[in-house]
């Protein structure tokens, strides 16, 4: 029996990243905004970059909690910590119409003045939530939480906590990095959800360029490094300007190029290597590397400049010589 074909998800209104800050700032107390295609942290970056943000936004860190009660406790703790951080610059009015406001504010001020978060766990959560929101920001605090789009069990308590916060006067944003299935508990936040419309990113902006390790003053090193990087057989084998351990005493020598997989060292020699002293030092380095198990190939800078492909073929031949199982007649 063929499996039932699921209908395509309904088309949702789209919103551009440039419009997000204004949309979030215009949320009234008790309103909810669901965004698909954007995580909490990326939304936070967009909001932080907005120079016209006049309302406070709190990014909730509740991913590690598994129950609605625990999430609400974390939110209250966060609001109390935020209120302490903003003391004594509290909004003058207490919670609108609350007979508790004056007494709560006096007690909260004493706690904050003593460097303690103004949390009163014996109070009903609804009253404490309203008081904290009221003193933190005159225009209200927008609460943003990320909702896991692939794990309904993890998503459900976050959604319930956001609904509770919206039901008690807070503006809330549910950020979903991708579209969730049209199954419980997601339909509770998908009604009226917006999909974030991302502009295509050019390939150049998505390319992470390799970091050169060639010596900045050696054109020959940079040319050979680039040629090796672009060679299908040799790419990734060599590291440039790298120390190689030699001797049993823990010493090392810095070489121009080393292939550790096949224990090959390539040295690129400029004119200074022709002096008697430098020539003798090079021969001693070659001896130390040979005893350490490395085969050394020396190529002059003049050869690189005159015939770079030939220099690369020399390196290829030595690598094949050291590579186990290679056909050396190729």
d(CA 196, CA 20): 9
- Burial class of residue 283 in the structure, from the number of CB atoms within 10 Å of its CB (0-12 exposed, 13-18 middle, 19+ buried): exposed
- Comparing CA positions, the residue from 269, 300, 271, 301 lying closest to residue 285 is 269
pLDDT in tens, the chain (330 residues): 555 555 555 678 999 988 999 999 999 999 999 999 999 999 999 998 876 767 889 999 998 999 999 999 999 999 999 999 999 988 765 444 444 578 898 999 999 999 999 999 999 999 999 999 988 887 789 999 999 999 999 999 999 999 999 999 999 999 999 999 999 999 999 988 999 988 787 887 777 766 667 666 688 888 999 999 899 999 989 988 889 998 767 788 999 999 999 999 999 998 898 899 999 999 999 999 999 999 999 999 999 999 999 999 999 999 999 987 655 444
Give the angle subtended at the CA of 132 by the CAs of 123 and 19, to the nearest 5°: 140
In angstroms and rounded to an integer, the radius of gyration of the C-alpha atoms of the chain is: 32
Per-residue confidence (pLDDT) for residue 210, from 0 to 100: 63
Asked, for residue 88, whether it belongs to a domain, the answer is yes
Q: Which residues of 57-83 are buried (b: 16+ CB within 10 A; e: fewer)?
A: bbbbebeebeebeebbbbbbebbbebb
Please give the Cα distance from 130 to 30 (Å, whole number).
12
Same domain, 254 and 194: no
Give residue 289's Cα distance to chain centre.
41
7, part of any domain: no
Contacts of 11 by beta carbon, 8 Å cutoff, 6+ apart: none
Those residues with Cβ within 8 angstroms of residue 103's Cβ, 6 or more apart along the chain or in another chain: none
Global model pTM greater than 0.75: no
C-alpha to C-alpha distance for 123 and 136, rounded to whole angstroms = 18
Question: What pLDDT shows up at residue 184?
Answer: 94
Decide if 34 is inside a domain.
yes
Residues 223 and 195 in one domain: no
Distance between CA atoms of residues 301 and 316, nearest Å: 17
User: Do 228 and 196 reside in the same domain of the chain?
Assistant: no
The parent domain of residue 285 ranges over 219-322
- Residue 22 falls within a domain, yes or no? yes
Do 110 and 248 lie in a common domain?
no
pLDDT at 93: 53
pLDDT per residue over 139-148, tens digit each?
789 999 999 9
Look at residue 231 and tell me if it is in a domain.
Answer: yes
262 and 323 in contact (C-beta within 8 Å)? yes
Looking at the fold, whether 192 and 301 belong to one and the same domain comes out as no
CB 30 within 8 A of CB 170: yes
DSSP sequence for 60-81:
---TT--SHHHHHHHHHHHHHH
Q: What is the pLDDT of residue 97?
A: 47
Span 112-137, pLDDT tens digits: 999 999 999 999 999 999 999 988 88
Structurally, how many domains does the chain consist of?
Answer: 2
Claim to verify: residue 37 and residue 180 sit in the same structural domain: yes
Percentage of residues in the chain having pLDDT higher than 90: 66
Number of neighbours of residue 173 by Cβ within 10 angstroms? 26
Residue 210 lies in a domain: no
DSSP class of 183? S
> What is the model's pLDDT at position 8?
58
Per-residue confidence (pLDDT) for residue 202, from 0 to 100: 84
């Amino acid at each position: 029996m063929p499996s039932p074909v699921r209908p395509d998800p309904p088309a949702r209104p789209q919103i551009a990243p440039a419009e997000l800050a204004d949309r979030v700032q215009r949320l009234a107390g008790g309103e909810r905004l669901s965004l698909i295609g954007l995580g909490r942290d990326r939304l936070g970056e967009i909001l932080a970059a907005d120079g016209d943000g006049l309302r406070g936004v709190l990014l909730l860190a509740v991913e590690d909690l598994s129950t609605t009660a625990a999430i609400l406790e974390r939110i209250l703790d966060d609001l109390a910590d935020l209120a302490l951080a903003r003391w004594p610059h509290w909004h003058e009015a207490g919670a609108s119409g609350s007979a508790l406001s004056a007494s709560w504010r006096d007690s909260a001020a004493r706690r904050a003045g003593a460097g303690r978060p103004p949390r009163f766990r014996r109070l009903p959560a609804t009253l404490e939530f309203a008081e904290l929101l009221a003193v933190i920001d005159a225009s209200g605090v927008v609460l943003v939480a990320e909702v896991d789009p692939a794990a309904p069990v993890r998503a459900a308590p976050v959604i319930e906590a956001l609904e509770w916060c919206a039901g008690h006067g807070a503006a809330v944003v549910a950020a979903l990095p991708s579209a969730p299935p049209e199954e419980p508990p997601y339909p509770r936040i998908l009604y009226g959800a917006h999909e974030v419309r991302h502009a295509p990113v050019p390939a150049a902006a998505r390319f992470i360029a390799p970091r050169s390790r060639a010596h900045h003053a050696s054109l020959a090193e940079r040319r050979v490094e680039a040629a090796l990087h672009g060679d299908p057989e040799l790419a990734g084998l060599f590291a440039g300007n790298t120390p190689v351990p030699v001797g049993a005493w823990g010493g090392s020598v810095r070489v121009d190029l080393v292939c550790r997989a096949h224990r090959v060292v390539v040295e690129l020699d400029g004119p200074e290597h022709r002096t008697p002293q430098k020539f003798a030092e090079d021969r001693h380095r070659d001896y130390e590397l040979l005893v350490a198990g490395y085969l050394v190939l020396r190529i002059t800078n003049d050869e690189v400049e005159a015939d770079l492909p030939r220099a690369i073929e020399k390196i290829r031949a030595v690598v094949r010589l050291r590579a186990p199982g290679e056909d050396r007649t190729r």
